[in-house]
Chain A
Amino acid sequence: GESVGLHLPTLSVQEGDNSIINCAYSNSASDYFIWYKQESGKGPQFIIDIRSNMDKRQGQRVTVLLNKTVKHLSLQIAATQPGDSAVYFCAEKGSEYGGATNKLIFGTGTLLAVQP
């Protein structure tokens, strides 16, 4: 079946360093991927997305890389700040209904802990 998994459950970094969070996906037909940030007591917050026709997309302090050959996603956070501490999820859009779906398949998540 479809699944999205993460390599590292916990990542601890120093404030100011760059963070890299990795994610593997299993459905080679997936064409849309999203990263979410979830802080304690809150719902997931959209960070950045990428379509399968792209290899890289940049936002404010964040970059997502997509390697379709090995079915791998990564989220890079530049100059990590204490406010970046949260659980990060990658998610894959379900392939049903030609894309007209809100079904996202989430991984387990990576806890990012930023040390001051």
Chain B
Amino acid sequence: DAGVTQSPTHLIKTRGQQVTLRCSPKSGHDTVSWYQQALGQGPQFIFQYYEEEERQRGNFPDRFSGHQFPNYSSELNVNALLLGDSALYLCASSFLTGVGKLFFGSGTQLSVL
């Protein structure tokens, strides 16, 4: 049973560029959340997708957007990258009703130069 998978594992971009990160949830899960984890900090909630719609959003600008596909996989897009966007981006999946028991992927390490 595959867990949450994310790609790519590492990415280097320059300021102003755009990036797309991908996530496949754990088998049977229908809800995907994205988190940003800065170095030495705890993860911060970006948004949550369920039934292909953004259901809840954290305190992140509109440069951060996402999508969920019919197979429950998801993408995180970040436009106009800033140096401060450098972080580990984590995807987590669950059943909508399985609140809290999130299963996390290993993340995508994004470096913005």
Interface residues of A (CB under 8 A from B): 4, 32, 34, 36, 41-46, 49, 89, 91, 93-94, 96-97, 99-109
Contacts and interface: CB of A to CB of B under 8 A. Distances in A.
Contacts of B70: none
Given A43-B90, A102-B94, A103-B58, A49 B41 contact: no
Interface string B71-96: 00000000000000000001010101
A92 B44 CA distance: 12
Contacts of B107: 43
A44 B99 contact: no
Contacts, number: 73
Interface in B90-113: 90, 92, 94, 96-97, 99-107
Given A101-B48, A106-B42, A108-B41, A42 B96 contact: no
A48 to B, nearest CB: 10
B104 A32 contact: no
The 9 closest A-B pairs by CB, nearest first: A106-B42, A43-B104, A102-B33, A103-B45, A102-B48, A44-B104, A43-B106, A106-B43, A34-B100
Nearest to A32: B100
Contacts of A97: 55-56
Contacts of A108: 40-42
Given A44-B43, A89-B42, 13 more contacts: A32-B99, A43-B4, A43-B90, A43-B92, A43-B105, A93-B100, A94-B56, A102-B33, A102-B92, A103-B33, A103-B58, A105-B45, A106-B44
